[in-house]
Amino acid sequence: MNIKVLTLFPDMFTALDHSIVGRAQEDARIHLEYINFRDYSTNRHGRVDDSPYGGGAGMLLTPQPVFDAVAALPKANRRIIAMTPTGQRFDQTVAEEWARESELVFLCGHYEGFDQRIHDELVTDEVSLGDFVLTGGELAAMTMIDAVVRLLPDVLGKSASHEDDSFSTGLLEYPHYTRPADYNGLRVPDVLLSGNHAKIEQWRRQQALKRTLERRPDLLETADLSASDLKYLQS
């Protein structure tokens, strides 16, 4: 997958050079490229922002540098994704959809955001990381890139490791334990040591249901629930 990021702060993205996304770059499963749209500013001081018409606080990113930076990209059938708190909420379903693309372009705003003509003419997707306001889109883009890249084939060690993820199943994930079975008197649930796979599967499903009911009951409205799930939830 080719990922291009239009940003005024490319140095922030060194976080993606580590761990799993770093290895995905080394293994050429993804190619990440950063474009500083300040380099496209025709203003002699390299200015990219200006005050809003109609008044109000803050500065807006002006159309010219962003339009020119996008025009310089190779013409491909691609998404141009703007980071904005007024966008649609990013979630696992969006990550799964984007993971099927061959190219993604992330557009990171700063200050009060972009001139609306950038959204109207260039952007295909407007997405928000959540109901809070960041100082800029960079951390949001990094988070979304991380969530997408781990879904690409062969990026995680075991191909199954994201299939039981929280949200992929419509529920929060069940709790995990590893060795030792007894840590200073804190014991791993007996069922996990039983070797009985059917029982383990049932316990995990019930733990996922319990956790989701306690922490994110909203998810139960859209989760795919069996008759035995419903029976457990009513018990």
Which residue is catalytic, options 50, 101, 126, 165? 165
Enumerate the β-bridge partners of residue 103: 2
Q: 65 exposed, middle or buried (CB, 10 Å; 0-12, 13-18, 19+)?
A: buried
Which residue lies nearer to ligand ADE by CB, 53 or 132? 132
Binding to ligand ADE (CB under 6 A) within 85-114 occurs at 85
Stretch that binds ligand ADE, among 1-9, 15-23, 130-138, 162-170 (CB under 6 A): 130-138
When asked if residue 128 is in the footprint of ligand ADE (CB under 6 A), the reply is yes
Q: Among 71, 133, 181, 230, which residue sits at the site for ligand ADE (rule: CB under 6 A)?
A: 133
How many CB atoms within 10 Å of residue 106?
Answer: 25
Q: Are 105 and 4 in contact (CB under 8 A)?
A: yes
137 labeled binding residue = no
Is 224 among the catalytic positions? no
CB of 9 to ligand ADE, least distance (A): 13
The one segment of 13-21, 98-106, 125-133, 148-156 that binds ligand ADE by CB under 6 A: 125-133
Dihedrals φ, ψ of 231, to 5°? Answer: -65, -45
Q: How many CB atoms lie within 10 A of CB 146?
A: 16
Strands annotated E in the chain: 2-6, 31-35, 49-50, 60-61, 79-89, 103-107, 125-128, 182-183, 186-187
130 touching ligand ADE, by CB under 6 A: yes
Residue 150 known to be catalytic: yes
Q: Which positions from 160 to 189 touch ligand ADE by CB under 6 A, shown as an x/- string?
A: ------------------------------
Query: Known catalytic residue: 38?
Result: no
Q: Report the 10 Å Cβ neighbour count for 66.
A: 26
d(Cα 38, Cα 82) in Å, to the nearest integer? 17
């457990």: which residue's tokens? 232
Q: Is 7 in the site for ligand ADE (CB under 6 A)?
A: no
Contact between 9 and ligand ADE per CB under 6 A: no
- Please report, as ranges, the residues that interact with ligand ADE according to CB under 6 A: 83-85, 128-130, 132-134, 137, 140
Active site amino acids: 85, 112, 150, 165
